């Protein structure tokens, strides 16, 4: 078996346009010199001209894709790490990840996997740490296991996705889950990410009595950092709405600069018990060295099976299941949409080197866990480079090389306060909400499971709970409303697994565990 899958390749690429008024003649074909690009190795290897593109477009598209994705090099360390145990997500054993080290491996893994994807799959898609999974790890998974064990689960998740791609099972499973439920999972993750952003910024806070949460303090915005979050949210929203290339990255940089100016003038300081209105995670002070050699100490720091010993096989298996589903459906939907945008998709939604793309995307999850940077997956932001004309994997190679260069800029993450990162999370969450258009809310047998999937994730602070509730309700309501034959057998299998997952407490008591 070879990882290169050239099936349908001869039918996938748009043919070069020919002039209607000037048909080619034998003499013209023989006497007209071919463009230099046709003779180049890059053009032949990546089929640039065959897909109706040029080398210039591919380089430009790769550059644009990098600038639209580069925010992850700053945002991922803010989600997964910190600069001390006091401002980083800590695991059950009190362990934490260094933000500088997370930034370095984020650039490394994104660079290597994006280059590999371009070389093997020959598609203009960029890969980097997925925001849904990294938030899930930081908020939920490390409440039960250590960071090393959590990354071990990510590696297992990636291995399974690779196997699904190799055997063709990935396509079968994808078709078993109704498209409305797939869309609901994406929307729910988006709402969950946005809610995390609102909480991290202080825009929404828990209350001791009354409603579970409220706006700010007593229904009012009282801190300057929260006000900076609002300004950043609006600025990023405007940039994205106006389709400015690299809008999120520009917004993060600009809002961080604003925060630094505010801190220089007002001397707010870090948040603490005596200073509840201070900055969270990082205090935006522009000082010290901003460029340094990357610290890759996190590479290889994962425990493959430690979580199974710590929390038991059932609980660890359900965490892996959640990671697989989150990775699985988001990536497949994203790749399908990007292939259509690039004009390389077939009528049935498939695209050239489909199996190769699935396998490399799965390897991104393995690499992300192995480097402790979280699962790497295809980014919808790649659409920006496609919009600039990118049609082949050459653009991905350009993007990947730039990601490798970003490893030397990881000290910049120590300047970005959590309030700025939170604004980006809300914007990304809003982007993911766009999938709600795929759900037919006019059919209540569809509407209720989709609704339960979407709202359960943020309300229970768990992606796993949302997926489980959605699967179970879809199967039961579908069967009870006379549509049992339309519920795929795999849906029943998965729903049964989730029923066991939700009842694991009583089951453990019965088993004396």
| DSSP assignments along 253-269, one per residue | HHHHHHHHHHHHHH---
Query: By three-state DSSP, how is residue 343 classified?
Result: coil
pLDDT of res. 104: 93
DSSP 97-125: EEHHHHHHHHHHHHHHHHHHHHHHH----
Q: Is the pLDDT reported for residue 63 higher than 60? A: yes
Using alpha carbons, select from 177, 43, 49, 193 the residue that is nearest to residue 449. 177
For 268, other C-beta atoms within 10 Å of its C-beta total 21
Q: How far apart are CA 513 and CA 503, in angstroms?
A: 13
Q: List, for residues 132-151, the tens digit of each pLDDT value.
A: 789 889 988 999 999 999 99
Which secondary structure element, helix H or strand E, spans residue 213, and what is its range? strand 213-215
Are 327 and 134 spatial neighbours (Cβ–Cβ below 8 Å)?
no
Read off the pTM.
Answer: 0.69
CA distance 81 to 62: 28
Mean pLDDT of the chain: 82
Over 50: is that where the pLDDT of 15 sits? no
Tens of pLDDT, residues 366-383: 999 999 999 999 987 788
pLDDT value of residue 18: 40
The upper half-sphere exposure of residue 34, i.e. CA atoms within 13 Å in the direction of its Cβ, equals 9
Predicted confidence band at 504 (pLDDT cuts at 50, 70, 90)? low
pLDDT (average), residues 182-193: 82
pLDDT-based confidence at residue 32 (cuts at 50, 70, 90): very low
What span, in angstroms and rounded, lies between the C-alpha atoms of 1 and 352? 17
């Amino acid at each position: 078996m070879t990882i290169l899958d050239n099936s349908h390749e001869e039918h996938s690429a748009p043919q070069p346009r020919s002039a209607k008024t000037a048909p080619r003649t034998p003499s013209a074909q023989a006497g007209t010199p071919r463009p230099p690009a046709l003779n180049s190795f890059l053009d032949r290897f990546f089929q640039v001209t065959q897909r109706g593109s040029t080398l210039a477009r591919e380089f430009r598209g790769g550059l644009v894709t990098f600038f639209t994705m580069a925010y992850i090099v700053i945002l991922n360390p803010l989600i997964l790490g910190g600069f001390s145990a006091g401002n980083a997500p800590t695991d059950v054993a009190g362990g934490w990840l260094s933000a500088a080290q997370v930034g370095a491996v984020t650039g490394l893994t994104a660079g290597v996997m994006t280059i590999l994807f371009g070389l093997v799959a020959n598609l203009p898609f960029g890969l980097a740490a997925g925001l849904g999974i990294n938030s899930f790890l930081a908020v939920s998974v490390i409440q039960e296991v250590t960071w090393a064990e959590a990354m071990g689960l990510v590696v297992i998740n990636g291995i399974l996705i690779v196997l699904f791609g190799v055997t063709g099972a990935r396509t079968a499973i994808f078709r078993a889950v109704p498209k409305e439920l797939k869309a609901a999972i994406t929307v729910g993750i988006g709402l969950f990410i946005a809610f995390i952003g609102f909480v991290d910024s202080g825009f929404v806070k828990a209350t001791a009595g009354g409603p579970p949460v409220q706006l700010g303090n007593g229904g009012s915005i009282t801190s300057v950092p929260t006000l900076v979050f609002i300004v950043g949210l609006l600025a990023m929203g405007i940039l994205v709405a106006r389709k400015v290339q690299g809008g999120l990255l520009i917004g993060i940089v600009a809002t961080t600069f604003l925060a630094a100016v505010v801190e220089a003038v007002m001397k707010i300081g870090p948040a603490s018990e005596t200073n509840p209105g201070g900055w969270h995670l990082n205090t935006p002070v522009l000082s010290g060295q901003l460029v340094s050699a990357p610290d890759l100490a996190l590479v290889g720091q994962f425990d493959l099976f430690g979580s199974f010993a710590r929390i038991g096989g059932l609980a660890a298996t359900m965490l892996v299941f959640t990671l697989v589903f989150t990775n699985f459906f988001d990536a497949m939907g994203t790749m399908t949409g990007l292939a259509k945008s690039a004009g390389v998709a077939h009528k049935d939604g498939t695209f050239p080197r489909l199996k190769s793309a699935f396998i490399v995307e799965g390897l991104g999850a393995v690499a992300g866990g192995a480097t402790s940077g979280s699962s790497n997956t295809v980014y919808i932001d790649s659409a920006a480079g496609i919009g600039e004309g990118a049609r082949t994997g050459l653009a991905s190679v350009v993007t990947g090389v730039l990601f490798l260069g970003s490893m030397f800029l990881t000290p910049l993450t120590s300047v970005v306060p959590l309030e700025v990162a939170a604004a980006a999370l809300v914007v990304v969450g809003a982007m993911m909400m766009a999938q709600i258009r795929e759900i037919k809310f006019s059919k209540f047998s569809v509407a209720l499971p989709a609704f339960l999937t979407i709202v359960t994730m943020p309300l229970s602070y768990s992606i796993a709970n949302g997926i489980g509730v959605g699967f179970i309700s879809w199967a039961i309501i579908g069967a009870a409303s006379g549509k049992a034959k339309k519920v795929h057998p795999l849906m029943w299998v998965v729903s049964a697994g989730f029923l066991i997952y939700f009842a694991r407490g009583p089951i453990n008591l019965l088993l004396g565990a």
